[in-house]
């Protein structure tokens, strides 16, 4: 059930996107918190799981493929910006394409990471926060008033592409063992780190977003939460 939480968040974000626009500080705090949570789960669970498998070649290949693929995608698809012609919305498909690709990749990454993460709720919740805000932002780009149906449709389409990515990754990783599993985990880890560094954190500091010390603390709170959860889990198991 938790794995589909991001899809629900995208759908609701689309419904509310033409009506609500979160403030800069709120967006910055959520982005930093998400960044800390995701990097924490990568360091605490995904990287050790891949490292302990004993297949360094598969690890290196999967990791390089993960960030290389996203580098190429990022080079081809640029983040859409508001149209300079006020009152005239840009083509819906042009605006949505980067968001649809992002939601598809998020689905793949969530499915892959769920196989190794001990705290399996963390990444779905973090992605739900991230993509919920992204869908709200897309709703503002698609316009208000007459554009409300476009905002709702965008959220629904993003939810569908996320579920496609999630289903695909779960099918691929089901029954994987040995080097194939190691490479897949390394691929997902690289994709997660790239999304945090090049998407979530970059967006948090773009367009004049709040960069105060309080906002930056949210990143370390996210990391600390994962560290404490990992510590408590290890203590309970032992």
Whole-angstrom distance, CA of residue 200 vs CA of residue 129: 11
Per residue in 211-226, pLDDT (tens digit) is 567 778 888 998 898 8
Whole-angstrom distance, CA of residue 227 vs CA of residue 215: 20
The answer to whether 201 and 32 have CB atoms below 8 angstroms apart is: yes
- What is the number of alpha carbons within 13 Å of residue 104 lying toward its C-beta? 12
Per residue in 142-183, pLDDT (tens digit) is 655 445 677 788 888 889 999 999 999 888 888 778 899 899
Q: Give the pLDDT confidence score for residue 97 in this predicted structure.
A: 75
Q: Give the pLDDT confidence score for residue 83 in this predicted structure.
A: 46
pLDDT-based confidence at residue 77 (cuts at 50, 70, 90)? confident
List the Cα angle 76/77/80 in 5-degree steps: 150
pLDDT-based confidence at residue 65 (cuts at 50, 70, 90)? very high
pLDDT-based confidence at residue 63 (cuts at 50, 70, 90)? very high
Residue 82 backbone phi and psi in degrees, to 5: -65, 145
């Amino acid at each position: 059930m938790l794995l589909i939480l991001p899809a629900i968040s995208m759908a609701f974000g689309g419904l509310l996107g033409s009506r609500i626009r979160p403030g800069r500080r709120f967006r910055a705090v959520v982005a930093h918190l998400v960044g800390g949570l995701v990097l924490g789960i990568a360091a605490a669970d995904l990287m050790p799981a891949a490292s302990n498998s004993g297949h360094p070649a598969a690890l290196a290949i999967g990791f390089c493929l993960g960030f290389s693929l996203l580098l190429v995608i990022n080079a081809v698809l640029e983040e859409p910006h508001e149209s300079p012609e006020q009152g005239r919305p840009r083509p819906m498909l042009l605006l949505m394409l980067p968001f649809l690709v992002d939601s598809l990749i998020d689905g793949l990454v969530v499915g892959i990471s769920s196989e190794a993460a001990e705290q399996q709720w963390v990444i779905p919740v973090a992605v739900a926060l991230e993509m919920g805000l992204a869908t709200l932002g897309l709703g503002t780009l698609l316009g208000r008033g007459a554009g409300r149906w476009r905002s709702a449709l965008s959220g629904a389409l993003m939810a569908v592409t996320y579920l496609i990515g999630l289903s695909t990754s779960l099918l691929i990783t089901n029954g994987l063992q040995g080097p194939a599993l190691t490479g897949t985990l390394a691929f997902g880890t690289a994709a997660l780190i790239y999304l945090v560094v090049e998407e979530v954190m970059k967006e948090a500091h773009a367009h004049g977003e709040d960069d105060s010390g309080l906002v930056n603390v949210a990143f370390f709170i996210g990391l600390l939460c994962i560290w404490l959860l990992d510590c408590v889990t290890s203590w309970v198991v032992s």
